[in-house]
Amino acid sequence: MKRLSILLITICLLLPEAVSAQRPQRDKKRDKTEIVRPQPTYEEMLEKLSELKHSETTIEKQLSEARELFSAGGPGKENLGTRIMELEKQLFSLREELDALSARINAMEQEQGYSRPATMPVTTDRTPKKAMLTANTYFRDNMPADDYELLAKAQSQETAAAATAAEIKSNYDRMAILLSTYYIVDKGPQADSIYNIIVSLADANETLAASLANVWNSIFETKIYSYNYILDKNGERVLLEDQERQMNNLRLLESEINGEYMYSSLARYALEKLLITGYETRIADMAGLSEAVDSLGSLVPPTQHIDDFFLKKLDTRERMFYDLSDVELVKPAKYANTNRIPQVEIFPRGSIYRILLGAYSRPQPISIFKGAYPMSQETKADKKHYYYAGGYATLEEASAAAARLKKQGFRNPQVVAWHDGVYDGAASGQSKNLATTGTVKYRIEITGAGDSLSRMVRDAITNQAAGKEISRLVNAENGETMFIVGSFNTKALADTLAADITAADPSLNIKVVPIQ
Higher pLDDT, 5 or 269: 269
pLDDT (0 to 100) of residue 487: 83
Higher pLDDT, 225 or 106: 225
Higher pLDDT, 17 or 251: 251
Let me know: does 284 contact 133? Beta carbons within 8 Å. yes
Q: 292: pLDDT confidence band, cut at 50, 70 and 90? A: low
pLDDT (0 to 100) of residue 123: 38
Q: Which amino acid is at 82?
A: T
The distance from CA 430 to its chain's CA centroid, rounded to whole angstroms, is 26
Distance (Å, rounded) from C-alpha 311 to C-alpha 479? Answer: 37
Give every CB contact of residue 101 below 8 A, 6+ residues apart in sequence: 45, 48, 49, 52
Q: 275: pLDDT confidence band, cut at 50, 70 and 90? A: confident
Let me know: does 388 contact 355? Beta carbons within 8 Å. yes
pLDDT (0 to 100) of residue 143: 87
pLDDT (0 to 100) of residue 110: 67
Q: Is pLDDT at 265 greater than 50 in this prediction?
A: yes
State the average pLDDT for the chain: 78
pLDDT (0 to 100) of residue 73: 64
Give every CB contact of residue 513 below 8 A, 6+ residues apart in sequence: 442, 443, 444, 445
Where is average pLDDT lowest: 156-165, 222-231, 402-411, 426-435?
426-435
> Stretch 47-68: mean pLDDT, rounded?
79
Let me know: does 244 contact 251? Beta carbons within 8 Å. no
pLDDT (0 to 100) of residue 401: 94
pLDDT (0 to 100) of residue 2: 39
CA triple 415-421-423, angle to 5 deg: 35
Higher pLDDT, 34 or 184: 184
Distance (Å, rounded) from C-alpha 157 to C-alpha 127? Answer: 10
Let me know: does 257 contact 266? Beta carbons within 8 Å. no
pLDDT (0 to 100) of residue 299: 54
Q: Is pLDDT at 407 greater than 80 in this prediction?
A: yes
Q: 10: pLDDT confidence band, cut at 50, 70 and 90? A: very low
Would you say the C-alpha torsion 227, 233, 239, 240 has a positive or negative sign? positive
pLDDT (0 to 100) of residue 410: 94
> Stretch 328-338: mean pLDDT, rounded?
89
Higher pLDDT, 474 or 264: 264
Q: 63: pLDDT confidence band, cut at 50, 70 and 90? A: confident
Q: Is pLDDT at 295 greater than 50 in this prediction?
A: yes
Q: Which amino acid is at 56?
A: E
Let me know: does 331 contact 373? Beta carbons within 8 Å. no
By the 10 Å C-beta count (0-12 exposed, 13-18 middle, 19+ buried), 73 is classed as: exposed
Higher pLDDT, 326 or 305: 326
pTM of the model: 0.58
Higher pLDDT, 67 or 21: 67
> Stretch 280-306: mean pLDDT, rounded?
64
| CA distances for 436 relative to 260, 274, 441, 486, angstroms | 17, 35, 14, 21
Higher pLDDT, 314 or 109: 314
Q: Which amino acid is at 298?
A: S
- The per-residue DSSP string of 418-460 comes to EETTEEETT--SS-GGG------EEEEEEESSTTS--HHHHHH
Q: 306: pLDDT confidence band, cut at 50, 70 and 90? A: low
Q: 85: pLDDT confidence band, cut at 50, 70 and 90? A: confident
Q: In which element (H, E) is residue 355 found? A: strand 351-360
Q: In which element (H, E) is residue 353 found? A: strand 351-360
Per-range mean pLDDT, top range of 255-269, 335-349, 363-377, 423-437:
363-377
Distance (Å, rounded) from C-alpha 424 to C-alpha 272? Answer: 46
Q: pLDDT tens across 122-180, in order?
A: 333 444 344 567 777 788 888 899 998 998 898 889 889 988 998 999 899 889 888 88
Q: What are phi and psi of 185, to 5 degrees?
A: -80, 160
Beta strands in 274-348 (DSSP E): 328-329
> Stretch 472-496: mean pLDDT, rounded?
83
Q: In which element (H, E) is residue 3 found? A: none
Let me know: does 147 contact 229? Beta carbons within 8 Å. yes
Let me know: does 151 contact 178? Beta carbons within 8 Å. no
Cis amide bond preceding 506, omega within 30: no
